[in-house]
Amino acid sequence: MSAGTLTLTNGSAIVGGSRTSFATELTAGDFIVSTVGGVSYTLPVKSVESNAQLTLVSNFTGPTQSGAAWSAVPRVALNMVTAALVAQSAEALRGLNYDKQNWQSIFSGTGNVTVTLPDGTTWTGPAWNSITTSLSGKAAKGANSDITSLSGLTTALSVAQGGTGSTAASGARTNLGLGNSATRDVGTAAGTVAAGDDSRLGTVNGKSGGTLTTPSLFTSAYSTNAGNKVGMQSFDTSTVGGVIGRTSFQYFNDAGYIGARRGGSTAIQDMAIGIDKDNGTWVTWIFSEGGNATANNGSWVNNSDCRIKTNTRPIESPLEKMKMLRGYTWERLDNAPPGQGFIAQELMEVIPTAVFTGGTTILDDGTEIEDTLSVDVAGAAAALHHEAILALMEKIEELTLKVEALQSGG
């Protein structure tokens, strides 16, 4: 703000000043800025008569006001602002023109086109007409109902793609796990290999590994989608409430072919352990190919009875320990899916008892990581976060009391 105050009169070009220095702060062509009635006025100066009086280029149109604060704005400052605004506007218009020309090239050009970006760099790529031409007649991604035949294939479709992986019958049988057999005979006559249920599988006496007897193998109770799973089940011959006790261990493959191969290993998708309960309900525990485990009808639980514990004590300095830990997301180097949580080495510095040493982990490139560390994430996070929340609640209560005391004192 400039020194002194102004007196502005509606309909008059004469401006009076009180304790002002018009002669030293302003010259003809400069501007004064003042706010009158909540409206900011920028007024050009025609002449300066004295430190206490000047004349505007035109009559003041606002309401008469005395004692108004004001600021002197040299003409060169406004000129610089105007010049900068013009330059920025020209630059913006130039960028819009580039964009217009670029889009016209993309939509109306053929083959490859070169566009100029607002920063002056260029990019060369296919025009829209070229893209549509190259895609014409090509099958779309996903399900295609318009494909009636395939021709010109030089490489056989793999088993994973729904083919046999071979152009010869012998190679196809090998890839499909059929060996030298072209078909599997269905029946129970001697010398045939049965497909589906076969009463001759009631025992494997004399074979290495012991004896299996009906109903220790899968029976018709697992006929639904039976082609996609294999395993064992056992029955208790006694009944409880009319229900025969049964437990089961089985695995499911991902392609419907028991013994199918993928990447050099059997394509197992899930492994399941199940128990029939007395009330007729079925509970299962699923161990999936991706490394996760699911308790379908319940939760994984840990014993936490105080009677089996000693030396229990709250976590000390939970807020400081929270600062020592970070939550991460990651990609795995051992063919495991992405994950999130704590890093074992960091958690060991905070809660050493939540970190455990395991065996050797083999990475995708063959590197062996010995004594791989694992963590009790659920226990560590629950205990540390709860104690940290309690500490924060205490701080909030202290601050609340202080605020209430200040308010009552004011």
Dihedral of CA atoms 251, 256, 259, 261 in degrees, nearest 10, equals -110
CA–CA gap between residue 296 and residue 394 (Å, rounded): 39
Q: Which residue has the higher pLDDT, 262 or 83?
A: 83
Residues 58-69: tens digit of each pLDDT:
999 999 999 999
CA–CA gap between residue 127 and residue 134 (Å, rounded): 11
Q: What is the pLDDT, as a whole number, of residue 261?
A: 31
Helix (H/G/I), strand (E/B), else coil: 389 = helix
Q: What is the pLDDT, as a whole number, of residue 331?
A: 94
Res 55 pLDDT > 80: yes
Determine the average pLDDT of the residues in 283-304.
76
pTM beyond 0.85, yes or no: no
Determine the average pLDDT of the residues in 389-409.
91
Give the Å distances, CA to CA, from 341 to 145, 218, 293: 44, 40, 17
Question: With pLDDT > 90 as the criterion, what percentage of the chain qualifies?
Answer: 30
Q: In sequence order, what DSSP letters do the residues of 130-167 get, joined into one string?
A: HHHHHHTTPPPSS--TT--------SPPPTTTTS-S-S
At residue 191, φ and ψ (nearest 5 deg) are: 90, -5
Q: Where are the beta strands (DSSP E) in 213-291?
A: 229-240, 243-253, 261-262, 265-266, 268-276, 282-288
Segment among 167-171, 248-252, 279-283 with least mean pLDDT:
248-252
Res 214 pLDDT > 70: no
Confidence tier at 243 by pLDDT (50, 70, 90)? very low
CA–CA gap between residue 98 and residue 147 (Å, rounded): 43
Determine the average pLDDT of the residues in 114-135.
79
User: Partners of 56 in the beta sheet?
Assistant: 45
Confidence tier at 259 by pLDDT (50, 70, 90)? very low
**Mean predicted lDDT score pLDDT of the chain:** 77
Q: Which residue has the higher pLDDT, 142 or 7?
A: 7
Determine the average pLDDT of the residues in 123-148.
75
HSE toward the beta carbon, residue 193, CA cutoff 13 A: 6
Strand duo 339-341 + 355-357: pairing: unpaired
Confidence tier at 139 by pLDDT (50, 70, 90)? low
Please compute Rg for the chain using Cα positions. Answer: 42
Q: What is the pLDDT, as a whole number, of residue 45?
A: 94
Residues 175-211: tens digit of each pLDDT:
888 766 555 444 444 444 444 444 544 545 445 454 4
User: Partners of 270 in the beta sheet?
Assistant: 252, 288
Confidence tier at 332 by pLDDT (50, 70, 90)? very high
Q: What is the pLDDT, as a whole number, of residue 133?
A: 77
- Give residues with Cβ within 8 angstroms of 56, minimum separation 6: 13, 14, 15, 43, 44, 45, 46
Residues 342-396: tens digit of each pLDDT:
999 999 999 999 999 999 999 999 999 999 999 988 888 889 899 999 999 999 9
Q: In sequence order, what DSSP letters do the residues of 49-116 get, joined into one string?
A: EETTEEEESS---S--EEEE--EEE-HHHHHHHHHHHHHHHHHHHHHHHHHHHHHHHHHH--SEEEEE
At residue 124, φ and ψ (nearest 5 deg) are: -120, 130
Q: What is the pLDDT, as a whole number, of residue 161?
A: 81
Segment among 50-59, 74-83, 240-249, 322-331 with least mean pLDDT:
240-249
Res 319 pLDDT > 80: yes
Confidence tier at 250 by pLDDT (50, 70, 90)? low
Confidence tier at 260 by pLDDT (50, 70, 90)? very low
Confidence tier at 328 by pLDDT (50, 70, 90)? very high
At residue 95, φ and ψ (nearest 5 deg) are: -65, -40
CA–CA gap between residue 83 and residue 91 (Å, rounded): 12
Tell me which DSSP letter residue 280 carries.
S
Determine the average pLDDT of the residues in 8-19.
95
Confidence tier at 278 by pLDDT (50, 70, 90)? low
Q: Which domains does the chain have, with CATH numbers?
A: 5-73 (2.40.30), 94-135 (no CATH), 199-295 (no CATH), 315-389 (no CATH)
Segment among 4-18, 212-226, 270-284, 333-347 with least mean pLDDT:
212-226
Q: What is the pLDDT, as a whole number, of residue 78?
A: 73
